Amino acid sequence: MRSVIPDYLAEALKSAASLTSGELADYIPELAAADPERLGAVFATVQGAVYGAGDIDTEFTIQSISKPFAYALALSDRGFDAVLARVGVEPSGEAFNEVSLESGTGRPLNPMINAGAITTHSLAGPEGLTPAARTERVIDGLSAFAGRRLRPDEAVCVSEMEHAHRNLAIAHMLRSHGILTEDPRTVVDGYTRQCSVLVTARDLAMMAATLANRGVNPLSGERVIPEPVVRQVLSVMFTCGMYDAAGDWATQVGIPAKSGVAGGLIGALPGQIGIATFSPRLDPHGNSVRGVCLFERFSSDMGLHLMGVPPAARAVVRANHVVGSGPDAVRVFQLQGGIGFAGAERVVHEAVESEPPETRVAVDLTMVYAIDDVARRMILEVTRRLTLDGHEVYLVDPESIMPDPDPGDGGRVTVVDTVEQALPSPHTADPGRSRARTYGA
């Protein structure tokens, strides 16, 4: 059987191809020479599956799509405080090349506009690197996100530098406010080189998938940036990634995203996929016309809007039933899925409401695949309170999904592999094989 996803993508591209509005970016002469009809789309899942249609292996320059990744590198290399002291996180609601600086401090409003991105470039790598080594650090970092060695397009880089008056003006402003501390031209030079790195739609989807996959490249397995940095970058992409169209994008598409003036567009949906499209004609905001249209379609066809999540919390308590009878009976709360705060609240609610009359109570985690820290603490607190109410509490956890299951403070749980092991001993099929362990008082 052929996969359904490339066929879907090919069909979506076919309908987007009828859009011929928009203009090539011509303020960088080399970009005006691009073939305006190029069109491609790629999905890369966090498991490393890649699906594409159209021009997915055509190289073009990354341009502003480098900004969230360079921001990620600066945050990893210098720490949050050092970066936030120089670049804010407020949407500017203005064009990408606007001189949007915070009044008073001169700090660029966010790292997605040029003022912020020029500053971020200067913060990549450890302090004291030479400008060339710093640019190398950025290109290395972009390559790690993509999972292959990337290189700049010299012609585009030179072409942009010859006309970089606006970015130079921005950099001089930044220098006058002390946000940049070195020669403005040198920094713009490095930033322009960063923007001229060649990528394909396939590379961009993999870079986005690395963000969606908590900072680990799904194919190479390399952790490129730490998780707190991923959260910061995706948040800024969500609020500022599409410049003065960010609000429209957040409501219509609802995926953290970034566009570039060579026609690339990426979206990173946390925990699910990285998406990239490529089509060079741009709308007045500098975003790819067909790319925006494709993302709107992908989001609505596949329910990818970040604010529209499936009703998962309800189903966390799969069953609340009694195994065995009489004094041997065990009350079993059978849980399932991935459990976060809202799911753990369901467990608390169930335990409070059912006030189990049985002495033995088992919390069955056999069908649970993940418990985050808050859910772990809430469920252990439930077991502690059950102990204090006179219950004998069991945690059925054959895969050790619950780390450190000690409820503390008077709580006591016995971890077993099966519900049967929570029954008094004659029921236990093979007590010798049980790895029952008791935690707590």
Which pair of tokens denotes residue 126? 């450890």
- The footprint of ligand GLN on residues 40-59 (CB under 6 A) is none
Chosen residue from 60, 96, 298, 439 binding ligand GLN by CB under 6 A: 96
104 contacts: CB under 8 Å, gap ≥ 6: none
Residue 241 C-beta: closest distance to ligand GLN, Å: 11
Chosen residue from 45, 76, 97, 232 binding ligand GLN by CB under 6 A: 97
Chosen residue from 45, 64, 143, 210 binding ligand GLN by CB under 6 A: 64
Q: Amino acid identity of 21? A: S
Q: Which CB sits closer to ligand GLN, 94 or 409?
A: 94
Q: For residues 285 and 23, what is the distance between their CA atoms, to the nearest angstrom?
A: 11
Residue 60 C-beta: closest distance to ligand GLN, Å: 11
405 contacts: CB under 8 Å, gap ≥ 6: 380, 395, 397, 413, 415, 439
Which pair of tokens denotes residue 359? 């002495």
Q: Which CB sits closer to ligand GLN, 210 or 287?
A: 287
Residues 156-185: x/- map of binding to ligand GLN (CB under 6 A)? Answer: ----x------x------------------
Residue 63 binds ligand GLN (CB under 6 A): yes
Residue 371 C-beta: closest distance to ligand GLN, Å: 41
Residue 114 binds ligand GLN (CB under 6 A): yes
231 contacts: CB under 8 Å, gap ≥ 6: none
Q: Which CB sits closer to ligand GLN, 295 or 439?
A: 295
Helices 114-122/131-146 angle, 10° precision: 110
Q: For residues 365 and 335, what is the distance between their CA atoms, to the nearest angstrom?
A: 6
Residue 261 binds ligand GLN (CB under 6 A): yes
Residue 219 C-beta: closest distance to ligand GLN, Å: 26
- The footprint of ligand GLN on residues 282-301 (CB under 6 A) is 286
Residue 165 C-beta: closest distance to ligand GLN, Å: 11
Q: Which CB sits closer to ligand GLN, 286 or 356?
A: 286
Residue 51 C-beta: closest distance to ligand GLN, Å: 26
Residue nearest to ligand GLN (CB): 64
Q: Beta-carbon neighbour count of residue 214 at 10 Å?
A: 15
Q: Which CB sits closer to ligand GLN, 278 or 333?
A: 278
Residue 76 C-beta: closest distance to ligand GLN, Å: 22
Residue 286 C-beta: closest distance to ligand GLN, Å: 5
Interface size with ligand GLN, residues (CB under 6 A)? 11
Q: Which of 216, 204, 202, 203 shows the shortest CA–CA distance to 270?
A: 216
Residue 195 binds ligand GLN (CB under 6 A): yes
Is 362 in contact with 419 (CB distance < 8 Å)?
Answer: yes
Residues labelled as active-site residues: 64, 67, 191, 243, 261
Q: Which CB sits closer to ligand GLN, 124 or 423?
A: 124
Residue 122 binds ligand GLN (CB under 6 A): no
- Angle among Cα 50, 55, 60 to the nearest 5 degrees reads 100
Is 387 in contact with 409 (CB distance < 8 Å)?
Answer: no
Q: Which CB sits closer to ligand GLN, 28 or 363?
A: 28
Q: Which CB sits closer to ligand GLN, 195 or 378?
A: 195
Interface residue list for ligand GLN (CB under 6 A): 63-64, 96-97, 114, 160, 167, 195, 260-261, 286
